[in-house]
Amino acid sequence: MSRENIQLACALALIVCLPWNSVKAEIATSCQNGVENGVLLNLTDPWGFIWAPDNLASYVPNSNCLWLLSPQVNGSSVQSISIKIIQMETESCCDYFAVYNGTTIDSPLVVQIYGTAMPAVVVEGETALLQLSSDGTVDRDGVAAFYWATEVEDEIPWDSLPCPFDCFGRGTCVKGTCVCDHGYLGGLCKNDDSKRIFERAI
3-state secondary structure 172-192: EEECCEEEECCCEECCCCCEE
The span of 67-75, 77-85, 95-103, 187-195 binding Ca ion (CB under 5 A) equals 95-103
Q: For Ca ion, which residue of 94, 174, 179, 197 counts as binding (CB under 5 A)?
A: 94
> From the CB of 128, what's the least distance to Ca ion, in Å?
24
User: What count of other Cβ atoms lies within 10 Å of the Cβ of residue 82?
Assistant: 17
Is residue 110 within 8 Å of 129, Cβ to Cβ? no
62 lies in the site for Ca ion, by CB under 5 A: no
Query: For residues 186, 189, 194 and 197, what is the CA-based torsion angle, rounded to 10 degrees?
Result: -130
Q: Which is nearer to Ca ion, 88 or 189 (CB)?
A: 88
> Least CB distance from residue 25 to Ca ion, whole Å?
21
What x-and-dash track marks residues 63-92 binding Ca ion by CB under 5 A? ----------------------------x-
Closest approach, Cβ 98 to Ca ion, in A, equals 14
> What CA–CA distance (Å, rounded) separates 91 from 24?
25
Could you tell me the smallest distance in angstroms from the CB atom of residue 146 to Ca ion? Answer: 25
DSSP lists the bridge partners of residue 89 as 142
Q: Which is nearer to Ca ion, 43 or 88 (CB)?
A: 88
76 class by beta-carbon count within 10 Å (0-12 exposed, 13-18 middle, 19+ buried): exposed
Q: How far apart are CA 124 and CA 111, in angstroms?
A: 12
**How many residues touch Ca ion (CB under 5 A)?**
6
- Tell me: does residue 93 bind Ca ion (CB under 5 A): no
Q: Select from 80, 56, 96 the least CA-distant residue to 186.
A: 56
Q: Does 95 bind Ca ion (CB under 5 A)?
A: yes
Q: Which residues 123-182 are close enough to bind Ca ion by CB under 5 A?
A: 134-135, 138
Measured from the CB atom, the residue of 59 and 168 that comes closer to Ca ion is 59
For residues 187 and 179, what is the distance between their CA atoms, to the nearest angstrom?
A: 8
Q: Which is nearer to Ca ion, 135 or 151 (CB)?
A: 135
**Footprint on this chain of Ca ion (rule: CB under 5 A):** 91, 94-95, 134-135, 138
